Structure 1
Amino acid sequence: MKMPEIHFKYWMGRGELAKCARALRHYWGHVEAALTLPLEKHDPLTAPIALVRLQAWGCGIDPLEREDEQIFRLRVAYAFEFARHGGETAGFKTMFARLGIDWVDIHEREDAEQWDVITIETRDADLASKNWLMNAMIRQYGRTCRRYQFNVTYPATLCLRGALFGHRAGIEIATAEDATTVAVRQRRVEHHQQLFIATLSRPQGGEQ
C-alpha cells in the first residue's frame, strides 16, 4: 500500500502546518520501512546474498558454475513452483520463461517406439548461450522415466495488415443440345521385326 500524499489549500501549504505534514510523512516512512524489512530480508530477489544462499541450501539448490547472481536468485525464489510443476509441459515452459528463455516448445510421444523421448524445441541463440542452464534444470526437475533431447528452430515473425477488399463471383454454364457423333475408322497395323546376331571366332594357329 502506498502512503497517500498530504495536500493543503494554497493558503495553508506553508508555515508550521506544512512542516508538521512533512514530519508526519517522514515518521510514517520510517515505520513502513521497519515493517517491510523482514519481508525484504526473506525475499530472495532483494535479500542479502548470504541469506539467499541459506534459503537455497534449505531448498536443495546448488549454485551453478556459470550462473550469475540474478539467475541464482530466480532459481531460489521460484524453487517451490519449479518443483511442483516440474516435468509438465506447462511447467517447463513457465520455468524457462522465468529464467529468460522466452521461446520454448515441448513435443511428447512423437515416436511410437521411443515414446519416452521428449523433444525440447528452442531458438538457436538460447541453446547456444544457455544450454548449461537448461541441462541443469532438466536434471533437477525433469522426470526420471523420460529422455530429453533438444531441437533447434529459427522462429520468424510474420506481420499481417488488414484491408478492405471486394470480390464478386459468377458461374455460367453452357450446354449443347445437338448430338455429336465421332466416327473411328478401323485399319490394320503391320509390324515387322528382324534380329541379327554376329560372332567373331579366332582360328587356331592363325596370326593375331
Structure 2
Amino acid sequence: MIEIKLPFWLGGEQLAKLSRAARRYWERVEHWLRWPLRQTDAETCALGVLDLLAWQRNIARFTGEPESLYRLRVKYAYANAVDAGSVAGFKRILQRLGVGYVEIEERAPGRDWDVITLRLSDGQLSANPELLRIILQMYGRTCRRYEFELITPVTLAVSAGTFDWDQHTLTATLPNSLRLTLRLAEPHHDSQLFVARL
C-alpha cells in the first residue's frame, strides 16, 4: 500500500479525504503499470494473451483441456523442451503437468531396442489419455515406440515379532525299573528329544 503524507498545515477531515483519494489514484496507476508484467505470466494473464503465449511456445490446446492444465503446459513449455530426451527429464515433465509418479524402462532385455515402457497407475492413464498422447508426441524421443503398463498399488502390512526356537535334550538312565515322568509344555515351535536307556 502506498503511504501518502500531505503538508502539515492541511488538517482535519479534508486531509483524510484527500489522502484516501490520492492513495486510490496511485494504486490504480500502479495497477495499470503492472498490467503488462502480469500478462507475461501464464498463470494470471488473460486468455487471449495466453493463446498468444501458447502460439509463441508451440503449444496447441486440445479438445476438452481444462484451462488450468493449458496454463501449466504454456508456463512450463520451455522447461519441458529442455527436459525432453532423458528419462529423468521425462519424469520431471510428467510431474510438472500433474500426471504424478511414473516408471520408465528403456531397452528392456528380450524386447526390441526402440520400445520404451511407461508404467502408470490405472487412474493416471484413465484421467489423462489425451495429455499423455500429446506429451509423447511433443517431448518423446524420435523413432521410438511407447507402451503403457499399469501399476496397481497394493497396501501391505508387515508386523515384527519374535520367533523363538528352543531345543531340549533330556536323558534318563534307570538301572532296572522304568518310571519316567516328564512334563514339558511350551507353546513355541519346539524340538524335543527324549532318550531313555534301560
TM-score grouping bracket, smaller chain normalisation: 0.5 to 0.7
Q: 1:18 Cα shift?
A: 6.6
Moved more, 61-70 or 119-128: 61-70
TM-score normalized by structure 1?
A: 0.62
Q: What per-residue deviation string (whole Å, max 9, x for no partner) do you get for residues 75-104 of structure 1?
A: 111111111111322222222222221221
In the alignment, what sits opposite 1:43? 41
Q: CA RMSD in A?
A: 3.8
CA distance in 2, matches of 1:68, 1:95: 18
SS of 2:103's partner is strand
Q: Give the alignment's TM-score, normalised by structure 2.
A: 0.65
Q: 2:122 aligns with which of 118, 121, 124?
A: 124
- For residues 11-51 of structure 1, the C-alpha deviation after alignment (integer angstroms, 9 at most, x for no partner) is xxx97787677556545533442332112112222111111
Q: Which residue of 2 aligns with 1:72?
A: 70
Residue 145 of structure 1 pairs with residue 140 of structure 2: no
Give the Cα separation in 2 of the matches to 1:52 and 1:101.
Answer: 22
Matched length: 165
**CA separation in 2, counterparts of 1:23 and 1:30?**
11
The range that moved more, 19-28 or 136-145, is 19-28
How far apart, in 1, do the equivalents of 2:124 and 2:134 lie? Answer: 14
* Correspondent of 2:50 among 49, 52, 62: 52
- For the pair 1:93 / 2:91, whether they are aligned, the reply is yes
CA contact (8 A) 2:2 2:26 kept: no
Question: In structure 2, do the counterparts of structure 1 residues 84 and 22 end up closer, same or farther at CA, with 3 Å as the change threshold?
Answer: same
For 1:98 and 1:115, the matched residues in 2 are separated by 28
Name 1:205's counterpart in structure 2. none
Question: Runs of 5+ in structure 1 lacking a partner?
Answer: 7-13, 175-208
Deviations 1:149-201 (A, max 9, x none): 1111112456889x9x9x8x9x99x9xxxxxxxxxxxxxxxxxxxxxxxxxxx
Alpha-carbon distance, 1:144 to partner: 0.3
Name which of structure 1's ranges 125-134 and 87-96 shifts more when overlaid on structure 2.
Answer: 87-96
Calculate percent identity across the aligned residue pairs: 40
Is the strand fraction higher in 1 or 2? 2
Pair 107,15 (structure 1): closer, same or farther in 2 beyond 3 Å: farther
Q: Distance in 1 between matches of 2:27 and 2:88?
A: 41
Unaligned 5+ segments in structure 2 are 5-11, 170-198
